[in-house]
Structures are given as C-alpha cells and as structure tokens.
C-alpha cells in the first residue's frame, strides 16, 4: 500500500478546501495543485531485514527526518492516508529526500497527477480521513522505545539537529520506566529490588546510557542500588 504522510493531524471540522490547501497545494495561501505526490510503499508489519516499513514506522521515521523538534508529534501524534490504487494513477519509484533510514529511501514513490487528478485524490483523502492511519503520542513513544537501540535510530539521536528528538526519547523512556517499575526515589526503588532486581537494574543502566536522569534522580538511585551503580 502507498502511504502519504500528512503534514498535520486535522480536526474533523476542517473543510475540504482547508484540507486541500494544507496537503495538496504547493502554496499555503493560494491553491496551486501539487502534481507530484510523495508517498512510500508500506506493509502491515515492519521488517528491518528487507527493509520494509509498517505504516507506523514509516510515519514516525518520516517525521523524525523532517522535523528538528517533535513538539507537534508529542502533542498530536502522526497521521497518514492510504492513497488510491486505481490503475489509471501513475506511481513512479524515485529517489526521495535524504533520510536516516534505508527503508524510507528505498521505498519512496511519487504519484504523478494532472490537475484534475489532484482534485480526485484530494477528495479521496478527505473522505477517507477518518478511516486513515492516525497514531497518538503514546503509540509514537512506544515505537521509539522499541527501536531506539537500532543503528539508524542511534544515528538520528546522535545528530546535533535532532537534540529535541533525543529529549523526546528520554521522556518516553522515563515514563515507560515509571509505569513498568516505580518512581525514581529510594524507597520505591528498594521495594522494586525485592520484586525484579535484574530487570530493574538493566533498565536503569539503559536509561543512564541515554543520559535520562536529572537533578537528584541519580542520588536516589545510588542510595538504593549502591554508590557505584551508575
């Protein structure tokens, strides 16, 4: 399936003209039909060995490539639409923009349209929007947590222009830790040591590797787990 990443997550009360101007125009004030619609081939499941993206993995990677600050993603999540597959439409496999991810580069297509077809596809996307692919911030965070140790994501988080994405990851990892184990205070950590010591220690070491701890958090950890633990 061919997936178009939307620029914004839209309110259900957005008019068709507003939607079309945002997503299918070369200009944001005057409608100038975009006759080359960028999209990517996706499958139901991500497969890093191929490489093949799921809809979720593509949309998150696409936003990570394009945005220096994920504040909109943290607030709204990510969204895209499956484009029509009618044989009359011409999909051309073309090199996409620079990307940290092999799957995004290799699976890029442009849907070549005339002006009439732009209207057709825009209406299709607008009518299908509520049945589109929207993933909330929790889904995005869970995806990052599942992939942050892979080489390509590590390269992105290490890039100086992606500091805010690394901050997003840190927030996601800490939130996940607190939901899975406990708050970062001495008493809670000691309690969890009696329940799952190996899992707790492994998780804390991973968080420390990604510089997740701030303020007195390291001190609380050291009081519970030992002064030389981290």
Average pLDDT over residues 64-88: 94
H or E element, residue 90? strand 90-93
Residue 33 maps to a domain = yes
Instruction: Tell which of 135, 150, 167 closes a domain.
Output: 135
Residue 18 maps to a domain = yes
In the sheet that 2-5 helps form, which strands lie side by side, from edge to edge?
90-93, 108-112, 36-41, 2-5, 78-82, 133-135
Instruction: Tell which of 89, 104, 135 closes a domain.
Output: 135
Same domain, 218 and 125: no
Residue 106 maps to a domain = yes
The number of folded domains in the chain is: 2
Same domain, 117 and 156: no
The pLDDT assigned to 50 comes to 92
Single out the residue of 2, 9, 226 nearest to residue 134, CA to CA.
9
Residue 184 maps to a domain = yes
Question: Residue 149's Cα: distance from chain center in Å?
Answer: 15
Retrieve residue 215's tokens. Answer: 């303020």
Residue 230 maps to a domain = no
Same domain, 166 and 76: no
The reply to whether the predicted model has a pTM over 0.75 is yes
Range of the domain at 80: 2-135
Question: pLDDT for 103-137, tens place per residue?
Answer: 999 999 999 999 999 999 999 999 887 667 999 99
Instruction: Tell which of 111, 135, 159 closes a domain.
Output: 135
Residue 54 maps to a domain = yes
Q: For tokens 């509520």, name the residue.
A: 130
Euclidean distance between CA atoms 40 and 20, whole angstroms: 20
Euclidean distance between CA atoms 180 and 188, whole angstroms: 12
Q: Which residues lie across from 78 on neighbouring strands?
A: 135
Euclidean distance between CA atoms 140 and 173, whole angstroms: 12
Question: pLDDT for 178-229, tens place per residue?
Answer: 999 999 999 999 999 999 999 999 999 999 999 999 989 999 999 999 999 9
Question: pLDDT for 135-155, tens place per residue?
Answer: 999 999 999 999 999 999 999
Report the chain's C-alpha Rg in angstroms.
21
Backbone angles phi, psi at 142, to 5 degrees: -60, -40
Average pLDDT over residues 41-45: 96
């Amino acid at each position: 399936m061919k997936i178009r990443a939307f620029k914004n997550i839209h309110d259900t009360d957005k008019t068709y003209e507003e939607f079309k101007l945002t997503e299918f125009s070369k200009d944001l004030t005057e409608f100038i039909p975009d006759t080359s619609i960028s999209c990517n081939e996706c499958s139901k499941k991500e497969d890093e060995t191929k490489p093949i993206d799921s809809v979720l993995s593509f949309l998150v990677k696409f936003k990570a490539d394009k945005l220096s600050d994920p504040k909109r993603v943290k607030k709204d999540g990510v969204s895209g639409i499956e484009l029509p597959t009618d044989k009359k439409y011409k999909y051309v496999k073309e090199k996409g923009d620079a990307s940290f991810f092999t799957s995004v580069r290799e699976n890029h297509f442009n849907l070549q349209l005339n002006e009439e077809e732009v209207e057709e596809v825009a209406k299709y996307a607008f009518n299908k929007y509520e049945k589109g692919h929207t993933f909330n911030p929790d889904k995005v965070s869970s995806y990052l947590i599942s992939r942050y140790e892979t080489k390509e994501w590590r390269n992105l988080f290490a890039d100086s222009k992606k500091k805010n994405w690394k901050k997003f990851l840190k927030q996601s990892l800490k939130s996940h830790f607190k939901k899975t184990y406990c708050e970062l205070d001495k008493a809670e950590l000691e309690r969890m040591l009696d329940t799952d010591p190996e899992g707790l220690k492994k998780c804390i070491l991973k968080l420390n590797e990604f510089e997740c701890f701030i303020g007195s958090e390291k001190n609380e950890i050291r009081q519970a787990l030992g002064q030389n633990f981290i």
